[in-house]
Structure 1
């Protein structure tokens, strides 16, 4: 019996997945209504969406449904200022991770995507679950430091939203693993032409 666990510890995507996607997670009315710094974050995401489209980079939208976000309700809709273009995938989810019980992986595979540039909400739930889920599956994952947000949950013992965002950015800079990369970049530093 072999004791070599190298293959098990190095998830790798097929070599035919060299493309990048901008992923916009849960930028919905009901999610962002009480989020910190919403207007600036939405503006930053909108700028990234425009730059991604101009460079030919795929934009993949993720939208959550729940009791608080029933499908087709006003809360469930993507916020004004962010509009999926015709042909851009919208992945529907009901769990925190964009991978769980969705077609997210199929969408990425069909488009040859191996690098995720992640934005959206909420930092400490769906964004965090998705970046870790992607990295564990072998994706290169870049978190856009100034393009994700969360609501104030201090009443339940959480740090203030700004601190949650800063801590998530800080902790992701230390993420590492064989065969893939994790990075944190300001929106102004994101270059869709490079990984």
Structure 2
């Protein structure tokens, strides 16, 4: 009888551990694809604009796997992003770069199993694309889709009195639209420069685009 109860207790413990791991994995994956929530800003006190360049890293732009961007589309988008950067700097607009590094171990495991580990810590491909002129612009790191998940990003916008975000980068169907939703929910004006974005799922972008327009975003 004691052996039976010991085995039963061990089985229950294993089930609870497995259940806990599954719940944590599910939480991490859901968090990855959800916009964040935050306090509303006062637009009157935020007269400035900022260009945000999202996740334009070589793990993604130079990927040759099944989720790779078409080279011609990539090169056109990179050229458009660089034009946006130059134009913003010419008028004294803030230019902000956002880098994605997956930090939750379930996401790291999923990326290693399904995508060769792109976007995971320690990789050379985490650097920004070789064509970008990052210069001395501020760089913020996130580990989920919405850049507002990085507290320093939001603090920087407040310090610079930024109330309007111009979004470029990738992927339009993922991180770009998530930061757009996170910004709109906080009261920012949002503009997405569509030629300066990339997506591996153009068939999904049309519907997402209409939803963003309905929510108040401008698509230029």
Q: TM-score range by the shorter chain?
A: 0.7 to 0.9
Contact in 2 for aligned 1:123/1:164 (Cα 8 Å): no
Deviation at 1:102, TM superposition (A): 3.5
For residues 80 and 17 of structure 1, do their structure 2 counterparts lie closer, same or farther at Cα, with a shift above 3 Å needed? same
Q: Say which structure is richer in helix.
A: 2
Q: 2:206 aligns with which of 166, 177, 181?
A: 166
Flag structure 2 segments of 5+ consecutive residues without an equivalent: 1-38, 103-107, 109-117
For residues 40 and 166 of structure 1, do their structure 2 counterparts lie closer, same or farther at Cα, with a shift above 3 Å needed? farther
CA–CA distance in 2 between the matches of 1:101 and 1:12? 17
Q: Which residue of 2 aligns with 1:63?
A: 99
Alignment size in residue pairs: 161
Flag structure 1 segments of 5+ consecutive residues without an equivalent: 1-9, 152-160, 177-181, 186-195
Q: Which residue of 2 aligns with 1:134?
A: 183
Deviation at 1:72, TM superposition (A): 5.3
Q: 1:17 aligns with which of 40, 46, 51?
A: 46
User: Structure 2-normalised TM-score?
Assistant: 0.68
CA–CA distance in 2 between the matches of 1:105 and 1:121? 20
- Matching of residues 93-172 of structure 1 within 5 Å: 93-151=142-200, 161-172=201-212
- Matching of residues 33-52 of structure 1 within 5 Å: 33=63, 34-36=68-70, 37-52=73-88
